[in-house]
Structure 1
Amino acid sequence: MDQRGNENFRPYRGRRGWNSASWRIERGARQHDTPRGGSWISPEPTVDPKPYGPLLKSITIEDLDKEAQESESITSIKNCIYAASYSWLEKSDPGIVVPGKPPTWTPLKGSHKIPQDNGEYFRDKNSARYPKYPMEPAVQSVLKMNQGFQTNEVDVFGCSSTIGNLLHFARSNPKSFRMLVEAVGDTVFFLRQENSPRELIPNVKGCGHTFPEAYTTWDSDVKGSACHARIVKYQLGGMTFLVRFGCDGYIREYAEAGQHQKLGEPKKGGITAEVLDQSDLLGDPESLAISSKNAPGPGPLAISSAGKIIPQHAIFDLKTRLQGKQVRMEDLLPRLWISQIPNLITAYHRWGEFNDAEIHVESVEDRVREWKKENEVGLEKFVRLLRKVVEIARARKDGKIEICRTEDGALEIRAPADADRDVLPEPLKKIWSQKLPPSDALKPKRDEEGADTKPENDEEDNEPDYTACSAEGCGYCGQCTY
């Protein structure tokens, strides 16, 4: 009998207990940051901050105020489409599969006791797995999945963390952060800067990592994945954005319900976002492994093809809380808006014991729209801030600046302390800035009947802390980020 059909099945207790390696492999080892059979991700729990470069300019909230109110349309996200995705593989060298696939929501019936989090969890999973160029997997997946992609149309390429931190500032929320900004061609990239790429989240409590291991499952075509990231494309404030974010999972029923609907039509449980035609998915697993051969680190980024495009309306964000501690929606809604995540799963427990009656799946589209209406003033400042940053970066000779902020202070625009740090390797920069054409390998290969081919993946398979809220939020799950 299937394990899920047995009400007495207890996934948290095996022949060797919760820490059984075989149990973690079966569930996909989704939240453990140290890959099986490898030690190349070594944690650095306490690291002193790097020195700052010379101050170029300070921006205050007052600088973002304007006498004339702009149209509400500048704060509206328009034409949101799924652009690309990838899954990190749980292996000793850095590798991703494109498009990958988020884990499937597979809830257990009845009541189950889940152990507390007791692992080591990185602040930034992309940096921890590929510290030299954390944005490279996102860029590679966009190029790999979109034939003839017009990179010059993109104004901003960032993640939900960097974009979210700028939104914190524009809304006068105290938050310390630091990021590298670099203009590559017409696109301004935002790269988060921790004290170390492998810095840990301290004092993690609760079941925010162990719960997903028990209640979500990696499908067979992406077995061995560690975490999943998606990139959406949309217009905001007259600019075109590519935004990467970590995806907790997807609801299979929602994905199947939308299969036969036309693009752009409202879909059950989610946003009205288009999904790119899957015929644009390129199938050559070696086509983009071009940019890291000379980069220091554990090894070049290996890119292969596996998985399936999951529509945006089927994905969800996941939060766990102790009963009596409600999820702070005022902290969560900005991230859902930035990432255009339409569904939320909240799971409440009594010291690790979860009951299916206390696990809720809901669409949050209406709540996000209401939040947006209530925060128009802050969002207008946010758009003006982004425009300023883009303008400053493009005006710099090397295209580079660093943005720093401490708590509730001003936003500091500085020259980078490390002038040699780049957001992308040089060969990929040239492709993105269209100084070099993509190789023929970037063109889709078709079989005799004209269909795109995609080789089978024969390898054994994350914005991000998947289950955290904001740092000043719950005070329960540890340091939280967008």
Structure 2
Amino acid sequence: MPHIPPFAKADLGAEVIQFSPTSSSSGVKITNVRPVASYSWIEAPIPTIAVPGSPNIWTDERIRRVPADSGFYIINQNSYRMGPNASPLAPLFAAVDELGEYDYASLDVVTDRNNLRQLLRWIAGTVDPEGFRIDIESSGKTCILTRRLEKNSEVIREFRGFGHEYEKAATTPAPGCENATGHHRIISMNIADLKVLQRFEVDACAVTSVREDWPQSISGIQIYRTTSPRLVPQSSLIELMTRASHKLLNWSEVYPQLYLSQTPHLYLAKHRKGVFMDVEKIPIDGEEMEPYMREVEQRIGKLRDVLVHILKAVREDIGTLFSLVCENGRLALCRREKESGMSVGKDILQKFSVKQDEE
């Protein structure tokens, strides 16, 4: 039976509680979605982001052939760019603070979309056999979830499809973001009564216009301020996917990804042995998507329930470091040794215990 990789058990202390998905839950919609900030990673010797930056722009040109994906590939931009000794969440807070004051103290959870997707897989019983780990630190009433991976980059040597190369061919950098290597967006949203600040990567957008303005440095991250518009409209966001024409899309996996970030458009590029056909443009709120929407809303209800249990356990011991560890479908909250992991730091943690207007 597969076991979780050794890195996922490093620095762990006593188990606090084991979780089980609720047997039934009423469906829950994601509501009150509000764009908060965004940024694009810029290739540079030190961590550098453009704020608010922009995703690449969809060109709407017919792409016939692209090479197969190969060579060096970054799996997790934020961890890779920030290095082993800094929090991958640091650029999230740098981007939010750059665009204005924000009431962090009102939040229940700060997280990457990937963490919520992992929990939804666990709820559905489809979690990867190797499991996952999510580190947790807390301040005020807020739990801050950090995505943990065994590796943040890899070299692709065998055939993995055409997704990365197709994205490069079908999009073009926005003005002012010519050296960007990836774009991230931060939204606030409600999962029932829980307020969540969520970060996710964006593949492309329909239209945008930005220009580079001035550089400065915040929290060890160099920031290039871009203007006009402040943020790319949520309605213009696009998720790009490629598939062989004979393979069906696994909507039970794909739809939760789109729904969590409220990405309105999926552009599906199908190919026959590497020759691409016309792109299928699928709105996530289309009539044919309703069965998948109902399914994911049932799982979102169970996600809300497990988040409540996690919050309750962590809030009983505010300031203690924890990790969520899933192994062979078993999800448990464990204490974590002090000084382990990659803390966001005291300056950021203080934002959650004091309202911005009281600082």
Normalised by the length of structure 1, the TM-score is 0.66
Deviation at 1:133, TM superposition (A): 1.0
Aligned to 1:56: 15
Look up the match of 1:318.
240
Measure the CA separation in 2 of the matches of 1:348 and 1:205: 15
Total equivalences in the alignment: 345
Aligned AA (1:172): G
Structure 2: which amino acid aligns with 1:137? P
1:365 aligned to which of 280, 285, 288: 285
* Partner residue in 1 for 2:195: 240
Please, which of 34, 48, 51 is the counterpart of residue 98 of structure 1? 51
Structure 2's unaligned 5+ residue stretches are none
Question: What's the CA shift for 1:101?
Answer: 0.5
How does 1:466-481 map onto structure 2 within 5 Å? none
Superposed, 1:16-415 pairs within 5 Å as 49=7, 51-52=9-10, 53-61=12-20, 64-65=22-23, 72=27, 75-109=28-62, 112-131=64-83, 132-147=86-101, 149-175=102-128, 176-198=131-153, 203=158, 205-252=160-207, 285-286=215-216, 289-291=217-219, 300-307=220-227, 308=229, 309-355=231-277, 357=278, 359-366=279-286, 369-408=290-329, 410-415=330-335
State the shift of 1:382 in Å: 1.3
Corresponding residue SS for 1:430: helix
- Alignment CA distance shift 1:435-1:310 (3 Å): closer
Shift of 1:78: 1.2
CA distance in 1, matches of 2:182, 2:335: 33
- What is residue 423 of structure 1 aligned with on the other side? 343
CA–CA separation in structure 2 for the residues paired with 1:375 and 1:393: 26
CA shift for structure 1 position 418: 5.8
Which has the higher Rg, Structure 1 or Structure 2? 1
Output the amino acid matched with 2:171: T
1:27 matched residue in structure 2: none
Show structure 1 runs of 5+ residues with no match: 1-46, 257-282, 292-299, 440-482
Give aligned-pair identity as a percent: 23
Partner deviation per Cα, 1:157-191 (whole Å, 9 max, x = no partner):
10110111111112222331101011123321111
Residue 15 of structure 2 aligns to which amino acid in structure 1?
A: L
In structure 2, the CA distance between the partners of 1:159 and 1:403, relative to structure 1 (3 Å rule), is same
Q: Which of the pair has the greater relative contact order for Cα pairs under 8 Å at 6+ separation?
A: 2
* 1:313 shift after superposition: 0.6
Deviation of residue 234 (structure 1)? 0.9
Matched residues in 2 for 1:135 and 1:340: separation? 21
Instruction: Report the CA distance shift for 1:225/1:237 in structure 2 as closer, same or farther (over 3 A).
Output: same
Decide whether the 8 Å contact of 1:122 with 1:201 is kept in 2: no
Aligned to 1:414, the other structure's residue is in SS state strand
The 3-state SS of whatever aligns with 1:49 is helix
TM-score normalised by L of structure 2: 0.87
| Other structure's SS at 1:385 match | helix
Partner SS for 1:382: helix
> Structure 2: how far apart are the matches of 1:327 and 1:418?
43
Is the Cα–Cα contact under 8 Å of residues 319 and 346 in structure 1 kept in the other structure? yes
CA contact (8 A) 2:17 2:332 kept: yes
**Counterparts in 2 of 1:201 and 1:164: CA distance versus 1, 3 Å:** farther
The answer on whether the counterparts of 1:218 and 1:225 sit within 8 Å (CA) in structure 2 is yes
Which deviates more, 376-385 or 180-189? 376-385
> Structure 1 residue 58: deviation in Å?
4.0
Give, in whole Å, the separation in 2 of the partners of 1:418 and 1:368. 45
Name the structure 2 match of 1:12.
none
